[in-house]
Structure 1
Amino acid sequence: MTAYDYDLITLGAGSGGVRASRLAAQLGLKVAVIEESRVGGTCVMRGCVPKKLLVYGSRFADDLADSLGFGWSIEGADFDWARLVAAKNAELNRLETVYGRILRDSGVQVVEGRGTLADAHTVLVGERRLSAATILIATGGRPSLPKIPGIQFAVTSNEALDLMQLPERMVIVGGGYIAVEFAGIFNSLGVAVTLILRGDAILRGFDHDARMALGEEMAKRGVDIRAKTQVQSIERSKSGYDVHLDDDEVVEADLVLYATGRAPNSAGLGLERVGVAVNAHGAVEVDAYSRTNVENIWAVGDVTDRMNLTPVAINEAMAFVRTAFQGQPTAMDYDNVPSAVFSQPPLASVGLTEDAARKRHGAVDVYVSRFRPMRNTLAERDERTLMKLIVDPASDRVLGVHMVGPDGPEIMQGFAVALKCGATKAQFDATVGIHPTAAEELVTMRDKRL
């Protein structure tokens, strides 16, 4: 029997890599995880967590403004961007320490450096050669930039999280999660934001009504949304940058943020050397159990470009451990995975969009409610919540739940459980609402949209 240094080597200490490594080590396996940047990966260090902290910081602008309607008088309120960034960085340092301790306490060896495959069982880290019976690729994704003149003047979400000061004018290019969330953050902090996207509306892939509702609310807040528009070039100017659009207009900005997508972080890993198949976009190709075409090499998370969400990567990692090491073949279930966009206001969703439901089931029943949240009445805020249910009339099963409005992500988690259990509209109707809340609207909608 061939002796290896480890039972498992994981490339990448992000959410999926950390979970898989820790669980495998707890089974008594000898495990190493290799990370060239910071333990915690994109979500914790360069994505979900720092971005959400900035979202929290920016939302105090609404709280302060709305408090006047509830009898508060707050004099001298001032915002310091540098203090928020410093506090965010301190929290990230704490989390990195926590993740490192969790790995060490689980018996995982953390190897700093860039790991590349020398062969199907050998990983090179600098001058070191490490071998393992099983290798897991969990290197995540990276920001992707188009090749246009002046793209070197743009920043990505990585740099936007660590700006030294707030710009006065900002162009954000893209219409997905990252673009929409950063538009909300900077707009709330007083930056004049222009959002440029080539599609007809923000958040392609989400329910049409939810997309339209969020776009309306963002526009009310002052975000200048330019749909069906593309950037031709970026030029440095005396006062910042000139962003040239395909309609011959020029938008002036102090900062240009590109959030036009992410690519699998697979280049330079030596995959071609050992014959691991990747698709045209660089995503590692895997089967339903996360195994590549090379028997002992597996991959989870964004590097596979299946469903690029942190909780999905974690669940893929758990399924991998059960399949590879516990004799329990487990495939990730991608149905009814909830998601949230921490926009302002936030959008949350679980299940099928209306378009997808009609394609799969034919006729569907649709229930929609738009209303002014109670908080917005005294605050005199012109912002409305949208809630939407999609139901299969044949089985009465709820196929999709969508919401745009305050607390949407928190509300949606519970309804995700309901959809996973196959809840019906009759069961929604039989559930007593909690009054007065926004969430009760989802169990009190009775009238179908004609």
Structure 2
Amino acid sequence: MKNFDYIIIGSGQAGVPLAFSLSKEGTVAIIERSFLGGTCVNNGCTPTKAYVASARRMWDAFHGDDLGIEIPAGVKANLKKIKARKDKLVSDSRSNIEKAILNNEKIELYKGEAHFLSNYEVKVGDKVLTAKNIFINVGASAVVPTEYQMVPFYTNENILEITDLPKHLIIIGGSYIGLEFGQIFKRFGSKVTIIERNKKLINREDEEVSDMVAEIMKSDGINLVFNAESIKVRQYNKSSISVVVDTKEMRGSHLLLAIGRTPNTDTLQLANTTIEVDKRNYIKVDDYCQTNVPGVFAIGDCNGQGAFTHTSYNDFQIVESYLLKKKERKISDRITTYGLFIDPPLGRIGMTKKEAIDKGYEIAVGCLPMTKVGRAKEKGETFGFMEAVIDVKTNLFLGACVLGVGGDEIINGITNLMYAKQPYTLFRDAVHIHPTVSELIPTMLEDLKPVNG
């Protein structure tokens, strides 16, 4: 048995910065069963956004004529080269993390799968490690229901490894992962069908957002199937999958499951501990990411308090502040914010209209279509709209979204205002650079309309 001051299980976007921070205070063991860097580096943000960029180049090539640019016919996506570029970006990130760990004499890296022997004992391979402070950072992975396990399928992980374009990619799930991959592969040249059990895409969003995202998908030529109450799959032959939605059959070359995510807590053998999990196997934590076992924390996707790189990193910040006895940060201070990285992207902060009304707020809403934004028209990218939800009693933002060109970046301006708890009038009355997309947010905020539940 080897004793450490700290043990970190998993090298994702919360675990790695925490390891370097804690190494200033004592000895650290970091355990990783797969590649260093977690989901973001290996099969999340880095690789998918590299693919989004390549897909955008394809879109530019096919829409040059709209802006007076004549591009010769014959443009095609070379998936082998696209993948090689992605692989290098991922490899460089992994290598940088590993070099930094190996160069830190206070951090010891263990490669293998970890499981608990007791609350404060962890086994990896034939080694037993112990510490009074343990941080679980094991992330999450794709949900694969039993009915799909008998046919060849892909998830967000292994679809990034293919080198031949799918002839017809069928995607089960019309939310973030399914939409991003759907648009990517359609722009690369595949036929794409997205199947969604609900009546709209991204079910958590207001209808206007879901409808506009559907319009964007259709503009790229993606086939959308809604209200899919019954989905049955089988392998039709060696090169195709049969998917029957209700009574309608379709055949595809590849099947991508984008149904949801589940925490990677199943291999930790938590039954050997008194650590509590919820009914979905997410590890229960308090406002400082600490479990019911003192000194044992769950950070990142496995605690169910966020499913994004930025929330994972914020978990690191919360834990670091807690351990330094400052307690300046906590989960309940966090405002929900995320992006949908289709093209054009969606940036979202705070509540939707429906959420605000359901919580009893008296709201006013400002909305402006991108067709009225000069810079969007000049770019030839007028899909989407911007919207703000304002608390009538306090003049504070309750939420906002920018679905359109630059939306994933523009939303951060409103994010800062919400954390500062400043009224929307501060944004409305500021002077913004012309010509930009964001300069029209003040114009939108000049025309708020009350919304009744």
TM-score norm. by structure 1 comes to: 0.93
Where 2:392 maps in the other structure, the secondary structure is coil
User: C-alpha separation between the residues in 1 aligned to 2:190 and 2:396?
Assistant: 44
Quick one: structure 1 residues 375 and 230, their matched pair in 2 at CA, closer, same or farther if it must change by over 3 Å? farther
Quote how far apart the aligned CAs of 1:258 are.
0.4
Task: State the match for 2:325 in structure 1.
Answer: 327
Quote how far apart the aligned CAs of 1:132 are.
1.3
Where 1:157 maps in the other structure, the secondary structure is coil
Task: State the match for 2:263 in structure 1.
Answer: 264
Aligned 8 A contact 1:181 1:343 in 2: yes
Task: State the match for 2:29 in structure 1.
Answer: 32
Superposition pairs of residues 438-449 of structure 1, within 5 angstroms: 438-445=437-444, 446-449=446-449
**Deviation by residue 1:387-420 (Cα, 9 ceiling, x = unmatched):** 1011111111121111111111111122211121
User: C-alpha separation between the residues in 1 aligned to 2:148 and 2:432?
Assistant: 55
Task: State the match for 1:420 in structure 2.
Answer: 419
Q: Give yes or no for the alignment of 1:362 onto 2:358.
A: no
Q: Give yes or no for the alignment of 1:91 onto 2:111.
A: no
User: C-alpha separation between the residues in 1 aligned to 2:34 and 2:385?
Assistant: 40
**Deviation by residue 1:18-63 (Cα, 9 ceiling, x = unmatched):** 121111112x310010001011011110111111110011011222
Aligned 8 A contact 1:68 1:379 in 2: no
Quote how far apart the aligned CAs of 1:429 are.
1.7
Matched to 1:190, the amino acid is G
Aligned 8 A contact 2:396 2:424 in 1: yes
Aligned 8 A contact 2:4 2:27 in 1: yes
Aligned 8 A contact 1:5 1:132 in 2: yes
User: C-alpha separation between the residues in 2 aligned to 1:43 and 1:60?
Assistant: 23
**Deviation by residue 1:326-355 (Cα, 9 ceiling, x = unmatched):** 122342345423210101221111111111
Q: Which moved more, 1:224-233 or 1:438-447?
A: 224-233
User: C-alpha separation between the residues in 1 aligned to 2:325 and 2:103?
Assistant: 25
Quick one: structure 1 residues 379 and 309, their matched pair in 2 at CA, closer, same or farther if it must change by over 3 Å? closer
Task: State the match for 1:20 in structure 2.
Answer: 18
User: C-alpha separation between the residues in 2 aligned to 1:379 and 1:194?
Assistant: 28
Aligned 8 A contact 1:361 1:392 in 2: no
Q: Give yes or no for the alignment of 1:135 onto 2:127.
A: no
Where 2:84 maps in the other structure, the secondary structure is helix
> Identity across aligned pairs (percent)?
25
Aligned 8 A contact 2:275 2:293 in 1: yes
Mark the runs of 5 or more structure 2 residues left unpaired by the alignment: none
Q: Give yes or no for the alignment of 1:51 onto 2:48.
A: yes
Runs of 4+ in 1 over 3 A off after TM superposition: 104-107, 149-152, 373-381
Where 2:161 maps in the other structure, the secondary structure is coil
User: C-alpha separation between the residues in 2 aligned to 1:145 and 1:339?
Assistant: 24
Mark the runs of 5 or more structure 1 residues left unpaired by the alignment: none
User: C-alpha separation between the residues in 2 aligned to 1:98 and 1:337?
Assistant: 30
Quote how far apart the aligned CAs of 1:385 are.
2.3
Where 2:157 maps in the other structure, the secondary structure is helix
Q: Give yes or no for the alignment of 1:73 onto 2:51.
A: no
Quick one: structure 1 residues 347 and 355, their matched pair in 2 at CA, closer, same or farther if it must change by over 3 Å? same
Quote how far apart the aligned CAs of 1:273 are.
0.4
**Deviation by residue 1:104-147 (Cα, 9 ceiling, x = unmatched):** 34432111111111122221111111111211111000111112
Quote how far apart the aligned CAs of 1:193 are.
1.1
Aligned 8 A contact 1:386 1:403 in 2: yes
Quick one: structure 1 residues 91 and 362, their matched pair in 2 at CA, closer, same or farther if it must change by over 3 Å? closer
User: C-alpha separation between the residues in 2 aligned to 1:335 and 1:353?
Assistant: 16
Quote how far apart the aligned CAs of 1:380 are.
6.2
Aligned 8 A contact 2:174 2:202 in 1: yes
Quote how far apart the aligned CAs of 1:320 are.
1.1
Task: State the match for 1:291 in structure 2.
Answer: 290
Q: Which moved more, 1:120-129 or 1:202-211?
A: 202-211
